[in-house]
């Protein structure tokens, strides 16, 4: 049974995930009984989004503790830790969660389990607080642009970028959301729109290259995105395409906010240029999946048969383009 409305949860050594690769067409739960299977779920983006990746990685480390043989316990844990950390190299929440659970796992599975559950709970609570704080920035009648997906699916529960928007809607404010499709995996069109529909928030899906026109026409009042890693100076790695939205927002004098829990901030990375950028399979660009008229999900090629593709998963937005950071405690600025 799903724990509340969470995107990821665990019962003892079993991890449950909403399968985000099946949305919005099917709502299915992916079940993993071992850490390698959970790692694969992270790599294949069955679960995704900074907070959900972190919580899932913490649960994977917990599972490794459960599976580790007594005669080779510490070595098994260390190798599992390296394997889990290699799944998504840009996501700071992953490294933070794995480190915390690993340190507890050195003592016992029970301590690892408690710490992993604590991380999931903390992430959920962070999203709730981000919603309350971010709501104060949203005026009645605002039209807001989002990029990629940073709602409940991405942050265990509540979300980061969507949390203030949903909170504003619950408080009676009239808000409208422009959801960019977010190529190549279309997380905006597939996931963010699905979440907003469930929350009853008015929205429309737009192609990624419509944003400049809408800003030029004065139809966007604010931009809120999530983040995968924030450097010590405020430079922020997020889904590919975030940088161009930030530059456009600066040009048209539109506030651009990053919403993120404190676990996404990485003081060990001084500047954005030092953030590792994950590169994913070219197939994500060359193929697209969707539901046909018969209700069957199909994958089809949309590019020239002999063409390749370059597919970085993230870009880095310099802090000079960011108005502020909506965190669980306050709106921060690096001015």
Instruction: Tell me the pLDDT tens digit for each residue of 89-116.
Output: 888 999 999 999 999 999 999 999 999 9
- Residue 160 burial (CB count, 10 A): 32
- Residue 70 burial (CB count, 10 A): 6
Phi-psi sector, 254: left (phi>0), alpha (psi -120 to 50), beta:
beta
Contact 118, 4 (CB under 8 A): no
Contact 237, 275 (CB under 8 A): yes
* Tokens encoding 282: 């070219």
CA distance 92 to 122: 15
pLDDT in tens, the chain (335 residues): 455 579 999 999 999 999 999 999 999 999 999 999 999 999 999 999 889 999 999 999 999 999 999 999 999 999 999 999 999 988 899 999 999 999 999 999 999 999 999 999 999 999 999 999 999 999 999 999 999 999 999 999 999 999 999 999 999 999 999 999 999 999 999 999 999 999 999 999 999 999 999 999 999 999 999 999 999 999 999 999 999 999 999 999 999 999 999 999 999 999 999 999 999 999 999 999 999 999 898 999 999 999 999 999 999 999 999 999 999 999 999 87
CA distance 305 to 2: 42
Provide the whole-model pTM: 0.92
Question: Catalytic residues, which ones?
Answer: 228
CA distance 91 to 278: 9
Those residues whose C-beta lies under 8 Å from the C-beta of residue 30, and which sit 6 or more positions away, are 16, 17, 18, 19, 41, 46, 47
- Identify the CA nearest to 55 among candidates 263, 211, 319, 232: 263
**Mind listing the domains of the chain with CATH numbers?**
8-128 (1.20.120.420), 136-278+312-332 (3.40.50.10470)
Those residues whose C-beta lies under 8 Å from the C-beta of residue 188, and which sit 6 or more positions away, are 146, 147, 148, 149, 179, 180, 181, 182, 205
pLDDT digits (tens, 9 = 90+) for 65-93: 999 999 999 999 999 999 999 999 888 99
- Identify the CA nearest to 39 among candidates 52, 57, 51: 57
Those residues whose C-beta lies under 8 Å from the C-beta of residue 90, and which sit 6 or more positions away, are 228, 229, 237, 275, 276, 277, 278, 313, 314
């Amino acid at each position: 049974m799903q724990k509340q409305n969470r995107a990821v949860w665990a019962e003892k050594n079993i991890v449950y995930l909403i399968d985000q690769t099946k949305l919005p067409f099917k709502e299915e739960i992916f079940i993993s009984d071992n850490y390698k299977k959970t790692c694969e779920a992270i790599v294949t983006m069955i679960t995704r989004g900074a907070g959900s990746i972190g919580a899932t990685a913490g649960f994977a480390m917990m599972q490794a503790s459960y599976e580790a043989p007594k005669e080779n316990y510490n070595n098994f844990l260390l190798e599992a830790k390296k394997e889990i950390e290699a799944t998504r190299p840009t996501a700071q929440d992953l490294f933070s969660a794995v480190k915390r659970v690993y340190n507890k796992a050195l003592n016992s599975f029970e301590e690892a389990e408690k710490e992993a559950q604590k991380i999931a709970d903390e992430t959920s609570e962070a999203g709730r607080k981000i919603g309350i704080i971010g709501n104060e920035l949203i005026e009645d009648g605002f039209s807001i642009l989002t990029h990629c997906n940073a709602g409940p699916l991405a942050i265990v529960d509540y979300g980061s970028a969507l949390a203030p928007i949903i909170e504003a809607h619950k408080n009676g404010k009239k808000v409208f959301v422009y959801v960019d499709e977010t190529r190549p995996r279309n997380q905006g069109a597939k996931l963010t729109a699905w979440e907003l529909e469930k929350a009853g928030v008015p929205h429309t899906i737009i192609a990624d290259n419509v944003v400049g026109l809408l800003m030029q026409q004065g139809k966007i009042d604010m931009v809120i995105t999530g983040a995968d890693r924030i450097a010590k100076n405020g430079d922020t790695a997020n889904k590919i395409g975030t940088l161009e939205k930030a530059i456009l927002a600066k040009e048209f004098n539109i506030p651009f906010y990053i919403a993120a829990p404190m676990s996404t901030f990485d003081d060990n990375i001084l500047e954005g240029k030092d953030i590792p950028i994950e590169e994913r399979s070219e197939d994500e660009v060359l193929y697209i999946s969707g539901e046909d008229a018969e209700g069957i999900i199909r994958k089809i090629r949309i590019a020239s048969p002999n063409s390749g593709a370059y597919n970085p998963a993230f870009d880095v937005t310099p802090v000079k383009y960011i108005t502020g950071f909506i965190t669980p405690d306050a709106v921060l600025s690096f001015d």
